[in-house]
Amino acid sequence: MATLTKRSTIYLDPVLHQALRLKSLETSSSMSEIINEALKEAFAEDAEDIAAFDERSDEPLISYEQMVKRLKKDGRI
């Protein structure tokens, strides 16, 4: 069963395009495959970040000023 794909036009910095082409040749992967994999990794990292924020959502908030005062009190600055 073939994977459905969607065609899109993107504009790359010329140096990045050249690097992508070279990586494509070196890895015997298409430029689309490399870009798709990079996007999947970026989105997975975002999902991990969102999960970490959700886990800490009940923690009390502290202002920057309070943090600086705490660091000074603890002798860290």
**pLDDT (tens digit per residue) in 28-75:** 999 999 999 999 999 999 999 999 999 999 999 999 999 999 999 999
Q: Residue 7: is its pLDDT beyond 60? A: yes
Q: Residue 2: is its pLDDT beyond 90? A: no
* Beta-carbon contacts of residue 10 (< 8 Å; ≥ 6 apart): 35
* Beta-carbon contacts of residue 20 (< 8 Å; ≥ 6 apart): 12, 31, 34, 35
- pLDDT value at residue 3: 76
Q: Tell me the domain boundaries of the chain.
A: 14-73
The separation between the first and the last C-alpha atoms of the chain, rounded to the nearest angstrom, is 61
